[in-house]
Structures are given as C-alpha cells and as structure tokens.
C-alpha cells in the first residue's frame, strides 16, 4: 500500500473513531447515567464517623468562584456544628496579600460566623498530594481526625490521598450544589417572539438536562484520569 493511501486510510479510521466516541457521549448525555455515575463516585467516601479535630477545606478556583464559595458554605456549616474543630484552608496563595484567594476564603468563613482564630492557612501546596503532605508535616498529628470538604467528584481522591500521607482518621463532605426547587417550564406562545421557532419551554431535557449530563461526563473523565495518575504515582 502506498504511503499516501495508508495515510488516508489512517485518517478515515481516526476520524470515524472520534466521531463514534463523540456520538456515544452525546447519546449517553440523553440519559441519566452520567449523573448516577458521578453521584456514586461522589458518595463512596462521604461519611462522618467521628467528631473532627480539623476541618480541611480544599481550595478550588479563585475567590469568588463557584467551587470556592460552595466549599466555604459547607465548611462553615460543619464548623458551626463541630465547634471545637480547627479549620485549615488549603489553597496556594500569598497570605500577605489581603486580596488573595486564600484570604478570600478565610474572609468568607468569617462572614459566616467562624472565628478567625480557628482558621489556619496552608498556602504552598499546589495539588492534593502536596497539600496532604504539608498538613501532615505541620502541627497536625497523623492520628488526628480530619473532615475534608471538597467538590463531590474530588472527594474520593482527596480522602485516599490524605490516608496515603499517613492520616488514619479521614472523613469527607462532598460540596453538592442544590437544584432549584421551582417549576421553570414556560409557555412560549405567551411570551411572544417568532412563531416558527419551536417551543421548548416544557422540554427541560433540551434546555438543561442534556448539557448538565455532558458536564457530568467531563467531570468524570477528568477525575478518572486524575485518580489513575495518582494511583500510578503511588499517591493513593
């Protein structure tokens, strides 16, 4: 077979393969399977078995951000319930900069009623492994009970990483978002506009659910790759 023909055949096979994979994920997004896989992963290490001595809030994005704010919300709820626990915010940043994200998370906790003297900052670790090691080498003993607050899909990797770092009592809270409880369907005819455009006011699958399931697929793929990498590295 000539090199050019072989190249064309390889290109067609590659293009077909990517198309088949894309079609598979699109069809999967029309079901609820991605949500159930994501929810199962998120809850597999979610538990509180003992009163925590330390609540570890793992930083997500900057502040304000969706991940940063929702993790602070859950951390503040936990800190209000476990009033003897200290809070450690693990997020790289400049603690001398009052506008840094790590200080932003601290301010958010204070706004939610948590006393500043209960809050400590771990500002140098740039991934979960480094944060676990840094916390393990600080004042926190390996036998201290920890309660980790992080995004749902990240909780399994976070709990396993802290256990690998030597901590023996590690629980976790997944920072789930809440869906709106109101009926958000609408009748397009009552709102005017071009009549030839289909009315999708009552079709929540097209408006929201399909895109949400695609988002779950992206979260799952990214986290599965991260878990595999941590496992190969021996970090979990």
| pLDDT tens column, 43-87 | 999 999 999 999 999 988 889 999 999 999 999 999 999 999 999
Using one digit for the tens of pLDDT, what is the confidence trace for 119-131?
A: 999 999 999 999 9
- Contacts (Cβ under 8 Å, ≥6 apart) of 186: 201, 202
Class level of CATH domain 51-178: alpha beta
Domains of the chain: which residue ranges?
Answer: 51-178
Q: How far is residue 2 CA from its own chain's centroid?
A: 49
The predicted-structure confidence for 163-212, as pLDDT tens digits, reads as follows: 999 999 999 999 999 877 787 777 777 787 887 778 877 777 777 889 99
For the chain, how big is the Rg over CA atoms in Å?
Answer: 23
Q: Which one, of 198, 193, 155, lies nearest residue 174 by Cα? A: 155
User: Is residue 147 pLDDT above 90, yes or no?
Assistant: yes
pLDDT score for 2: 67
Q: How many Cβ atoms from other residues are within 10 Å of residue 183's Cβ?
A: 8
Confidence grade of residue 223 (pLDDT, cut at 50, 70, 90) = very high
Whether this prediction's pTM lies above 0.85 is answered by yes
């Amino acid at each position: 077979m000539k090199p050019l023909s072989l190249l064309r055949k390889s290109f067609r096979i590659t293009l077909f393969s990517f198309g088949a994979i894309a079609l598979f994920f699109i069809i999967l997004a029309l079901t609820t399977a991605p949500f159930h896989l994501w929810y199962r992963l998120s809850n597999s290490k979610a538990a509180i078995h003992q009163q925590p001595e330390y609540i570890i809030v793992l930083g997500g994005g900057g502040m304000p951000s969706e991940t940063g704010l929702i993790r602070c919300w859950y951390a503040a709820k936990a800190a209000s319930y476990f009033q003897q626990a200290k809070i450690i915010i693990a997020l790289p940043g400049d603690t001398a900069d009052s506008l840094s994200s790590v200080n932003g998370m601290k301010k958010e906790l204070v706004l939610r009623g948590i006393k500043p003297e209960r809050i400590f900052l771990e500002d140098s670790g740039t991934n979960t492994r480094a944060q676990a090691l840094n916390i393990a080498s600080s004042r926190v003993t390996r036998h201290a009970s920890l309660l980790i607050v992080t995004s749902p899909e990240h909780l399994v990797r976070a709990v396993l990483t802290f256990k690998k770092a030597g901590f023996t009592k590690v629980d976790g809270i997944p920072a789930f978002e809440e869906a709106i409880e109101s009926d958000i369907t609408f009748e397009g005819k009552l709102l005017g506009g071009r009549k030839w455009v289909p009315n999708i006011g009552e079709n929540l699958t097209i408006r929201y659910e399909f895109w949400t399931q695609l988002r779950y697929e992206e979260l799952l793929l990214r986290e599965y790759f991260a878990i595999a990498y941590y496992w190969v590295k021996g970090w979990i």
